[in-house]
Amino acid sequence: MQYDFNTIPARKGTFCVKHDMTREVFGTEDLLPMWVADMDFKTPDFILDAIRKRCDHEVLGYTFAPDSYKMAVLNWFQKRYGIATKWNKMHFIPGIVQGIAFVLQTFTVPGDKVLITTPVYPPFINVPHRTGRIFVSSPLKTVNGRFTFDFEDLERKAQGCKVMILSNPHNPGGTVWTKEELSQVGDICLKHKVLVISDEIHADLTYPEFHHTSFTTVSEAALHNSITFFAPSKTFNMAGLASSVCYVPDEEIRKTFFGFLDHNELSLGNIFGYYAAEAAFAHGEEWLQQLLEYLQGNINAAEQFLKENCPEITFMRPQASFLLWMDFRSWHLSQKDLERKLIYDAKIGLNNGTDFGPEGEGFMRMNIGTNRETVMEGLRRICSVRS
């Protein structure tokens, strides 16, 4: 079956963050929203049908994770990431950012240090900060058009930290870390007793030339010193449902963390999340393959368009996911002026680079998880305001 990614439903007026919160975020509704990381594509029918079918029963009472859901998750993990495990090492999590906050509450106290590598998905900065933890940042390096770690700096900064939050693959760079990179991160963190949170929400969106490595699979050090988060929400465009999971192979860490979750009544989950996730994992492979082909087409088209029309703007070619980390430094504008120019002159809503850390100065993040026509329109708007 050929899926249609060119036709996108109108989302405005559905209380969706991307289209309906532009006034709060950008100060205006008169712009093309290409920011928050969900896609404009229709959530696939096999997921919507599963939700509709569950509705036919007409009672939506308290629900726990069905066995068929657990099997679908475990099969997906085994097939795609080579993780053979049992459900008792996994746990429902309403959302990954919430999961990160739960880990910080379980394993740290206010004043403790949390290691991150910047630029990075803003909640990795904000959650530690807002909960009274101190974030310590190790800036990433750009080598051959992709991010990599500055291991010397990382090791120095790891000393005295309690937890590291790792985006694997990386948002905003779309970098798929190699096994060697992850293994080195694992060794450094074990040596300095830093518990690793591996946030693998973008894993399924890894493009076919690359290989996602789940952090737990790189070494014994990583396996016994980590908590991995995973979700179908980005992959199948169902971020409005609570349907994330965490995987904790180490018994001691698991007892402590699952204890926190259970004591805080965070175990039951969301009825539609379970049915939707099961359908996604059981029937989603073909759709996902076609989605990735379409998104790669968007990335190629964006690269070509910029080369021909606005060659001074480039982006880090993502190895995973639908986000472009765009480099506007050649325009020589302050971040405030760049933001203003894009919002009010180009009328486009992108994520501001400095929200991802100070290394984001001169950058913006563009979401191309939409149809090609919209991607082109966004790029035309950007190019129309070059001086």
Ligand X SMILES: Cc1ncc(COP(=O)(O)O)c(C=O)c1O
Smallest distance, ligand X to C-beta of residue 204, A: 13
**Residue span binding ligand X (CB under 6 A) among the ranges 25-33, 92-100, 286-294, 340-348:** 92-100
CB of 385 to ligand X, least distance (A): 27
40 touches ligand X by CB under 6 A: no
With CB under 6 A as the contact rule, the residue among 22, 184, 237, 244 that binds ligand X is 244
Q: At what angle do helices 67-81 and 271-283 cross, to 10 degrees?
A: 40
Interface residue with ligand X, options 181, 199, 204, 359 (CB under 6 A): 199
39 part of the interface to ligand X, by CB under 6 A: no
Question: What's the closest the beta carbon of residue 231 comes to ligand X, in angstroms?
Answer: 5
Q: Is 324 in the site for ligand X (CB under 6 A)?
A: no
Closest CA to 378 of 348, 353, 338: 348
Instruction: Report d(CA 170, CA 210) in Å as an integer.
Output: 13
Minimal distance in Å, beta carbon 297 to ligand X? 22
> Which of 186, 257, 193 lies closest to 227 in space, CA to CA?
257
Q: Are 348 and 382 in contact (CB under 8 A)?
A: yes
Q: Which of 96, 103, 218, 375 binds ligand X (CB under 6 A)?
A: 96
Q: Does 280 bind ligand X (CB under 6 A)?
A: no
Q: Which of 107, 81, 96 is nearest to 115 (CA)?
A: 107
Q: How far apart are CA 134 and CA 204, in angstroms?
A: 31
Contact between 239 and ligand X by CB under 6 A: the answer reads yes
CA distance 168 to 178: 10
Give the whole-angstrom CA distance, residue 264 versus residue 279: 28
Under rule CB under 6 A, residue 167 binds ligand X: yes
Q: What is the DSSP letter of 320?
A: B
Of 108 and 171, CB closest to ligand X:
171
Stretch 200-219: interaction string toward ligand X, x if CB under 6 A: -x------------------
Q: Measure the CA–CA gap between 285 and 3, rounded to whole angstroms.
A: 12
Number of residues that bind ligand X (CB under 6 A): 13
Using CB under 6 A as the binding rule, whether residue 171 contacts ligand X is answered as yes
CA angle 330, 331, 333 (to 5 degrees): 120
CA 222 to centroid of chain Cα atoms:
20
Nearer to ligand X, 116 or 302 (CB): 116
User: Does position 125 bind ligand X by CB under 6 A?
Assistant: no
Distance CA 149, CA 5 (A): 35
Instruction: Please list the alpha-helical segments (H only) found in the chain.
Output: 17-20, 22-26, 45-56, 67-81, 96-107, 123-130, 151-158, 179-191, 220-223, 251-263, 271-283, 285-309, 335-340, 372-384
Is residue 95 within the footprint of ligand X (CB under 6 A)? yes
The answer to the question of residue 175 lying near ligand X (CB under 6 A) is no
Among 206, 233, 235, 335, binds ligand X (CB under 6 A): 233
Among 32, 50, 97, 279, binds ligand X (CB under 6 A): 97
Tokens of 89: 């090492």
Going residue by residue from 51 to 90, which x/- string records binding to ligand X, judged by CB under 6 A?
Answer: ----------------------------------------
Is 279 one of the binding residues for ligand X (CB under 6 A)? no
- Minimum CB separation from ligand X for residue 95, in Å? 3
Interface contacts to ligand X, rule CB under 6 A: 37, 95-97, 121, 167, 171, 199, 201, 231, 233, 239, 244
